[in-house]
Amino acid sequence: MSLRAGVGLAIQSDNNYSAMADTSLTIGKWGLNANVSGYSESQTKVTHLLSGILYSVPLTSGGSLKAEFGVGALMAQTTADGKTENMLSSSFPIGFDWTILNLGGLGVSANWKSWLFAAHPYIPPFMLLSHDRFTTVSLSAGVAL
């Protein structure tokens, strides 16, 4: 089991980007990932929370490079002109995780994910055809328990 926390960048399909805090808990090939990002411009504040359950497949013999895929959710809150709007959408994250350094129980890794999401009816195969996505890039450090 390992627990990691890090920082990174979240990029939306409309080219808005913001700083991001990222956490993950991994047990074997399964993991739980969550990150929060947001930005403020003029009178508008936007906050995004992406979370998902991921399955990883090793791409190298040592397992330092892994492909990840899973299911998750995108929760967004936009506040403008004193009004708040919330959105919830299912998502389909796919990406790669690269363990840069692993010294005993301490590790550093880089992660890239594309979180695909679609409008109602939220049918996973149609998400692959969607142009709506978040791309997250993070650098994390953590411990193995």
Q: With cut-offs at 50, 70 and 90, classify the pLDDT of residue 82.
A: confident
Whether residue 126 has pLDDT greater than 60: no
Contacts of 111 (CB under 8 A, 6+ apart): 6, 8, 22, 24, 95, 96, 97, 98, 136, 137, 138, 139, 140
Closest Cα to residue 2, out of 105, 100, 103?
Answer: 105
**110 vs 132: CA distance, rounded Å:** 23
* Gap between the terminal Cα atoms of the chain: 5
**122: DSSP letter:** -
Task: Provide the 10 A C-beta neighbour count for residue 97.
Answer: 25
The residue ranking higher by pLDDT, 120 or 4, is: 4
Angle among Cα 139, 117, 56 to the nearest 5 degrees reads: 45
* pLDDT tens readout for residues 46-73: 999 999 999 999 999 988 999 999 999 9
Contacts of 77 (CB under 8 A, 6+ apart): 46, 47, 84, 85, 86, 87
Q: With cut-offs at 50, 70 and 90, classify the pLDDT of residue 20.
A: very high
Going by CATH, does the domain composed of 2-144 fall within 2.40.160.20? yes
The residue ranking higher by pLDDT, 98 or 15, is: 98
Q: With cut-offs at 50, 70 and 90, classify the pLDDT of residue 125.
A: low
pLDDT for 57 equals 97
Q: Once rounded to an integer, what is the mean pLDDT over residues 114-119?
A: 77
Whether residue 95 has pLDDT greater than 60: yes
